[in-house]
Amino acid sequence: MKNQKDIKRNKKSPVGSSKKIVKSNKEGSKSFLATWLLSYFLGNFGVDRFYLGKKKTGVLKLITLGGLGFWTLIDFLITGLGTRRDSNGLILEGFAKYRNRIRFFTFIFIIINIAYLAFIGLYIIPQRQMIINDTNRENDIKGISSSIRNFEINLSAFLPVAISTGNEPNVVRFCDTSNCQNAFSEIELQTYKPENVSLQKYSPNLQVPDLDKVYVVNDAECNSTNNGLGGVKVHSVAILSKSEKSFNGSKTSCTTVASEKFININASPFCGAMPTAGMSDTAVKYLQALVDFNKGRERVEKDYVDSGSNGVTVQMITDQLVADKRLIISLQNITFPKDLQNQANNAVIAIQKYDSLILKESANVDAVPQSLFAEITVARTNLFASLENLRTELNLPESTCKYIIP
């Protein structure tokens, strides 16, 4: 009776129940060596599982790209260690034959991969980050160079005499005065902090202390290897910074910003003087006014040369009046110390006196009375004397420009 009940229970087992896979010590038809190789080379695509007849997990492994590599690694290891079987639970064919050799190569693979991962983590990733950091620093240096060049070309005839932070975060300004209230050029930095970008005086052995600092050195150029300062060069800027480069330590880099319009400091429009970092705002603005005035004088001299140097022309007088008018406006906009304000006012009066006389001259340039010529000569002498007096009081060197017009 007991056996009959057991038979009845077996007959009542549910139809379509899942097939139970029973592990066997028998070898199947699936190659152990082929499975190991497929697991190594094509494991991310589930080919090894398709080969063993495990289609469902093969599809899942394909979709997930081998479980982002982790599933592939696990399958490879259990294959190499000999614990993997086919879909019927049979041992892979050739396991006994290749077992020791495959286990050895699997062990070597583990060692190599551990070393590779260590190499990636300890060298490649930090090196890549160094490269990214250095690239960002180089982009900032290019931006600083571009901003200085823009300042010199479009805003002032001089180099920046001060560096300041902008109104927005990460913005640095290059200014024509210490309070940065007049003309300035600015750039937004990606890596450096604006407060770490500073103007430095030239010194042959000047070095940037760390990776976070940038030194801007006026009237200097880089050495031939661009890893430090070279010599003094008027109206040129050297930018010193450091880069990570490698694990051997940081490396100093130097970038020269050569002027687009460099000329002799003793020639017009500079006439022997350029701003320096320690110069007062009044002196800097006065120099800028003189440079603008001297550029106007250059146009007058060109008119004189173009006329064949045969006397005064209407065009010469027109250009002179324009230059004088701009100088008057500049002088009136400068806040001079009280003891110099009267001299500045006298300079404006001298210019106006000179202009009134050359206006008379323009009425009949072909027959100017000698007495008017004499008055113009005296007025011009007084004009330049008043300008030179201001230069002297502001501790500026004497003008080196000699004008050729009569």
Q: Which fold has domain 281-393?
A: de novo design (two linked rop proteins) (1.20.1440)
DSSP character string of 27-71 = EEEEEHHHHHHHHHHHGGGTHHHHHTT-HHHHHHHHHTHHHHTHH
- Domain range annotation of the chain: 22-119, 132-258, 281-393
Cα 6–chain centre separation:
85
Q: Exposed (0-12), middle (13-18) or buried (19+): which is 15, by Cβ within 10 Å?
A: exposed
What predicted TM-score, i.e. pTM, was given to this entire model?
0.56
What is the pLDDT tens value at each position of the chain, 406 positions in all? 444 444 444 444 444 444 555 566 787 889 888 998 898 889 889 999 999 999 999 999 999 988 888 898 888 888 888 888 888 888 888 888 888 888 888 888 889 888 988 888 888 888 888 889 999 999 999 999 999 988 877 777 778 888 988 888 899 999 887 778 777 889 999 999 999 999 998 888 899 999 999 999 988 889 999 999 988 787 789 999 998 866 667 889 999 987 655 557 787 777 887 776 677 888 888 888 888 888 888 888 888 888 876 777 888 888 889 989 989 999 999 989 988 999 999 999 999 999 998 888 777 767 778 888 888 889 988 888 898 899 889 988 888 876 554 4
Token pair recorded at residue 266: 């003793």
Whether the CB-CB separation of 208 and 242 falls below 8 Å is answered with yes
What pLDDT, on the 0 to 100 scale, is given for residue 260?
A: 57
Amino acid at 314: V
Helix (H) and strand (E) counts in the chain:
12, 9
Give the pLDDT of residue 5.
Answer: 46
Q: Given this model, what pLDDT does residue 299 score?
A: 84
Give the model's pLDDT for residue 23: 63
- C-alpha span between 153 and 25 (Å, rounded): 87
- Residue 188 backbone dihedrals phi, psi, to 5 degrees: -90, 125
| Nearest alpha-carbon partner for 221 in 179, 272, 257 | 257
pLDDT of residue 14: 47
Cα–Cα distance list, 58 to 12, 20, 55, 76, 84 (Å) = 34, 19, 5, 14, 15
pLDDT given for residue 38 in this prediction: 92
What string of DSSP letters covers 174-192?
Answer: EESSTT--S-EEEEE-SSS
Under a CB-based contact definition with an 8 Å cutoff, are residues 259 and 253 in contact?
A: no
Phi/psi of residue 101, each to 5°?
-65, -40
First to last CA, the chain: 143
| C-alpha span between 275 and 221 (Å, rounded) | 17
Instruction: Please tell me the predicted confidence (pLDDT) of residue 12.
Output: 46
Q: Do residues 336 and 282 lie in contact, with contact meaning Cβ atoms separated by under 8 Å?
A: yes
Provide the b/e sequence for 282-295 (b: ≥16 CB within 10 Å): bbbbbbbbbbbbbe
